[in-house]
Each structure stands twice: as C-alpha cells, then as structure tokens.
C-alpha cells in the first residue's frame, strides 16, 4: 500500500485540508456540546438523588427491619415488593412472584425464580444467599439475543495473537505505517499500538488489495477503560477498492474515538454509494452512562457485515451503523492514533458470507459453525455466541422433527487429556443454552470430539481456525 493512499485516507477524514492532529481537535470540538449535556445530566441526577434521599433511606430501613423479603420486580429490579404491583415503578407482579428470587451471576438479570436464568440460561448458583453474595456481571448476552448480526460461515482469516511473542510484530499482519507490536491487556494478547499510538496495519494476505468477497463479516475486540491518566485514541477501520478512481480508491471509513476523561466516545462514518457520485455519513454518540450505549468497560466486540451493497456495524451485538447502499470494498486496514494506554485490537476474524442454515443442513446433513465461541480454556459461552444459538433454536422450532447431535471440535494444540473433556463440556453448554431457548432436551445430544476429526491441517493458523468448530449433525 502506497503512503499516498494512507495520506489521502487521513486527509479525507477532515475534508482533505487538515492534519491528523487537527482531526482530533475537530472531534474534540464536536464532542464539547455532548460533554456539557452529559455533565448537565449528571447534575440533574445528583439533585434528584438528593430529593429521593428520604425514599432511599426508608427503603434501607425496611431492609434492615427484614421487610425486604418478597418478590423482585422484573422491570426495574426493585426487591422486597409484597403487593400485586411494584413499589417503585408500578409494574404488575409476575406469576409465581412469591417464590424466592435470585440474581444471575452471569448476566445480572434479577427476579429469577426457576433453576435457570430467564435471560441467559445460566444455572442458579447453589445456596440461598447467592443473590447477595455474588456481584452480577453486566448483561452482556442480552444484546446478542436480539442481534440481527449473522457471522460468516467460512473463515478466511483469524488471529487471537495467543501464539505470538510479546514485543514482536505479529506474524499474520502487515505494517503499512507507524508502529505496532504484540502486547498484553487484561490477561489477553493483543496487537498494541505503541510509539505515541500512530500506526496502520492490515491482515497479511496473498493479495493485499483483493481479499474481501462481496459478502463478508469482520469481527474484532476493543478494550475500554476510563480514568484521568489513561488517555484517548481514534481507532479507524478503512475500506478500499483499487478499481475506484475517486477518493483515491477509498470506499469509506469509520473512526471510533474514545475519551477516557469524560467517559465518552463516538463512532462516525462516511462511505461512497454505488453510483460513486454520492456518499453517506453518520455519527453515534457512545457515552458510558447513556442507557442506549452498547459500549461497556472492559472488552467490547465490534462487528461489520457487508452483503453485496448493504453495510451494517455492531458494538456488542447492537447495530449502530446501517447503510443500505455502499460501494463494494475489496480490502480493509486499521488506522490508529492517539496516546491511549489500551490502544489495541484483539480476536480478529474475517469470514465469507453466511448461507441460510436450512440450505446448509439440506446440502451437507449438518451445520458447521464458527460463530459459537468460548472463553479460552473454558466451557463458558461468549455472549456473541447467542446470535448463532438463537438461529439454531429458531430452525428447530420451525422444524419440530429436527434432532441434532451437537459436536464440539478442537484444534491439535494441547493434549487429548485436556481437549477431550473440554470439547465435551462445551458441547453440553450449547445443549443447555438451546434448552433454555425452549428446545426439548430429548431432541439434542452432546458429544465432544476433541481434536480427533480435523477438517484442515493443524500446521497453519488458518487450518487450526477451521478445526475449532461446532457441528450440528442431523440425527
């Protein structure tokens, strides 16, 4: 990639007249009003909290007197209700509300009364005091339960950086400009942008300018942490096509700007339309304290889906970009600038477009998926896995006679002593999740295959990525 293209890409972000630094300044000015509004909201909240102080104190006194026993409102989370309606928001008491409720330690859903969480399907923790003794996690899976993101079926690139050496440049990437190296954030290896945060990197492919099909998905994780001394940054995904004459081959770009000081960020975008004469722009504010903000502290999963002309962007399963007509890109790269302590990307995956599940089942007698993933070395489903699990559940609901053997497969890294039981537990976790979606357990069975049935060579990263899969085999 020529430096000229990189220069145009950066200049294009600011109308082709300003430097990268002025782009940051412009973004700061744009966010100023939003910041002031955010501060105003905080002040208003504090005043309301003061006015509500007596109410909160009364609630605490009731709890201290042992009056908190009762039912937990599924709408607002208020506990200790004893009547037919919630004391706080007026929501009607749910059926079976007298049963002792519990808060899910996995997704944070309150008011559960059965053996499994109503939201994510996690099993009720042992012990009566589970609700009080375990701090709930944020509702990571709930967004994905409603997401329309469909991951691609055929992986063409994947990098978790797990096998890379700290401080070296990652072996599956090409450095276009600036500086980057393998780092570690929150116990995970990442591609880190150091040296004042300036860098342009691209997946290392056989043809650097033509590796995206006309239907594809791109996924990657970004770490977010607030704090006065953490800094700020812009992480931009850029799409290009060398066949385009205008914009020097740029199809479009989407800068994600994060400011740790005011806990705010925004995502902007500008893309060419198919006719080449027009473009579409947009912006999404992402303040941490905003109720409709899908971003959260810690790891955030970004995803892009392109289907011949429609481009969609997601953060943690929530669609934030929806462009019905966009130029077809043939390649992409990441541009980063800004001295942010956690400026990095992780778990990058590029996949070829999705084929309808039923068609795949009819053609192959099974469904192979790479969209169901787990925490490293564990049988804990990642939140984004719920997209595919919900698709499988819907397929089974629409076809009541359909039964599956759920198979977990690993690559050849690690010993059979570890891989075999791990793959079995992962298959069982998927079955449990499907049962929680309303599928009868009798229609499912779980089998861990370990690394004994590879479908690609385990000597390459791409081959190992293909071998790490889940199969739904029709019985």
Position 166 pLDDT exceeds 80: yes
Confidence (pLDDT) at 278: 87
Domain spanning 357-474 has what CATH number? Answer: 3.30.1330.60
Residue 69 Cα distances to 90, 100, 114, 127, angstroms: 18, 8, 17, 16
Confidence (pLDDT) at 118: 67
Q: What is the pLDDT of residues 25-55, one digit of tens each?
A: 544 454 444 444 443 444 344 434 444 544 4
The pTM of this model reads 0.69
Position 451 pLDDT exceeds 90: yes
| Confidence band, pLDDT 50/70/90 cuts, at residue 10 | very low
Confidence (pLDDT) at 58: 45
Q: Which residues contact 275 (CB under 8 A, 6 or more apart)?
A: none
Cβ–Cβ under 8 Å, residues 155 and 320: no
Confidence (pLDDT) at 405: 97
Share of the chain above pLDDT 70, in %: 74
Residue 138 Cα to chain centre, angstroms: 13
Cα–Cα distance, 423 to 412 (Å, whole number):
12
Position 375 pLDDT exceeds 70: yes
Domain ranges of the chain: 100-138, 147-352, 357-474
Lowest model confidence (mean pLDDT) among 114-123, 200-209, 221-230: 114-123
Look at residue 129 and give its three-state secondary structure.
coil
Task: Tell me what the mean pLDDT of segment 308-333 comes to.
Answer: 94
Confidence (pLDDT) at 123: 67
Task: Tell me what the mean pLDDT of segment 92-98 comes to.
Answer: 60
Confidence (pLDDT) at 253: 97
Task: Tell me what the mean pLDDT of segment 203-220 comes to.
Answer: 96
Position 436 pLDDT exceeds 80: yes
Q: What is the pLDDT of residues 399-418, one digit of tens each?
A: 999 999 999 999 998 899 99
Most confident of 35-44, 204-213, 346-355, 461-470: 204-213
Cβ–Cβ under 8 Å, residues 385 and 373: yes
Mean pLDDT of the chain: 80
Q: What is the pLDDT of residues 119-159, one digit of tens each?
A: 666 667 765 443 333 433 334 466 787 788 988 888 899 99
Domain spanning 147-352 has what CATH number? Answer: 2.60.120.560
Cβ–Cβ under 8 Å, residues 224 and 298: yes
Q: What is the pLDDT of residues 301-318, one digit of tens each?
A: 999 999 989 999 999 999
């Amino acid at each position: 990639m020529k430096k000229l293209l990189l220069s145009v890409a950066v200049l294009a972000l600011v109308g082709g007249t300003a430097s990268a630094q002025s782009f940051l300044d412009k973004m700061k000015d744009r966010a100023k009003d939003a910041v002031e509004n955010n501060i105003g909201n905080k002040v208003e909240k504090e005043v309301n909290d003061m006015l509500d102080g007596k109410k909160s104190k009364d609630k605490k006194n009731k709890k201290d007197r042992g009056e908190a026993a009762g039912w937990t409102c599924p709408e607002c989370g208020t506990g200790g209700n004893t009547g037919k309606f919630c004391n706080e928001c007026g929501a009607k008491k749910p059926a079976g509300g007298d049963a002792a409720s519990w808060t899910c330690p996995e997704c944070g859903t309150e008011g559960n009364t059965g053996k499994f969480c109503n939201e994510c399907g996690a099993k009720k923790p042992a012990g009566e005091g589970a609700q009080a003794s375990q701090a709930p996690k944020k509702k990571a899976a709930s967004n994905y339960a409603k997401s329309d993101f469909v991951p691609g079926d055929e992986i063409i690139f994947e990098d978790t950086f797990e096998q890379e050496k700290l401080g070296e440049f990652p072996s599956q990437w090409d450095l276009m400009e600036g500086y980057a190296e393998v780092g570690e954030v929150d116990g995970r290896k990442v591609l880190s942008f150091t040296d004042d945060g300036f860098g342009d990197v691209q997946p290392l492919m056989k043809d650097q300018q033509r590796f995206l099909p006309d239907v594809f998905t791109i996924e990657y994780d970004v770490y977010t942490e607030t704090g006065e001394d953490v800094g700020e940054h812009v992480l931009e995904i850029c799409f290009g096509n060398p066949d385009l004459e205008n914009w020097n081959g740029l199809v479009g770009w989407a800068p994600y700007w994060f400011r740790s000081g005011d806990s705010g960020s925004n995502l902007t975008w500008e893309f060419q339309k198919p006719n080449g004469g027009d473009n579409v722009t947009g912006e999404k504010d992402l303040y941490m304290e905003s109720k409709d903000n899908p971003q959260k502290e810690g790891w955030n999963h970004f995803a892009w889906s392109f289907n011949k002309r429609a481009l969609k962007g997601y953060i943690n399963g929530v669609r934030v970009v929806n462009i019905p007509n966009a130029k077809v890109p043939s390649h992409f790269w990441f541009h980063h600038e800004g001295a942010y302590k956690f400026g990095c990307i992780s778990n990058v995956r590029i996949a070829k477009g999705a084929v309808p599940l039923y068609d795949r089942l009819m053609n192959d007698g099974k469904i192979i998926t790479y969209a169901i993933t787990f925490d490293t070395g564990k049988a804990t489903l990642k939140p984004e896995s719920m997209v595919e699990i919900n698709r499988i559940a819907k397929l089974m609901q629409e076809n009541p006679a359909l039964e599956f053997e759920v198979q977990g497969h690993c690559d050849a890294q690690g010993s059979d002593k570890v891989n075999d039981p791990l793959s079995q537990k992962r298959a069982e976790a998927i079955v449990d999740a499907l049962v929680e979606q309303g599928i009868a357990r009798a229609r499912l069975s779980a089998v861990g295959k370990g690394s004994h049935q590879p479908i690609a060579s385990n000597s390459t990263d791409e081959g190992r990525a293909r071998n790490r899969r889940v199969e739904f085999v029709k019985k």
